[in-house]
Structure 1
Amino acid sequence: MPAVNRKLLTDADFQDAMERQIGIRVFERDHIVHSGGAILRFDERSVVIQAGVSDLSYFTRTACEFYELKKR
């Protein structure tokens, strides 16, 4: 089944994706830098994504683009 990517822009977008534990893709300078995992927390400057028990990744909101990966 094809996937649909929805760009996360607002705090409400991030909150929704975090609550639903949706997989996230992160792009920086038009390159994918992370795929998979769910948002653990976020604020106005950063987003923390957890892909495993001890696998945490930190991203700057202004330097990256975040997409929710949903199945059709």
Structure 2
Amino acid sequence: MTVDIDGAKLKNMFESDVCALGGDSGGPALRGTTALGLLSGGSDETKGTSSSSGTYRNYFTPVQRVLEQRGLRVY
């Protein structure tokens, strides 16, 4: 999906319903021990607090894109 984060249009992101707190940006989205993406932002009304509960929408940049943009590979 394409999302607008702080005025920047980011393409090919994926959405998650996890709660994110301030300072969580860059944190991983994991499936078991496999990193799928890095937290890049979320909608203001759904960012969690330590006592919040509900429906959240947070957006991740796929790990493979980050690696490719930096010329990196994982062995």
Normalised by the size of structure 1, how large is the TM-score?
0.29
Higher strand residue share: 1
Q: Indicate the structure (1 or 2) with the bigger Cα radius of gyration.
A: 2
Larger RCO (alpha carbons 8 Å, 6+ apart): 1
TM-score calculated relative to the size of structure 2: 0.28
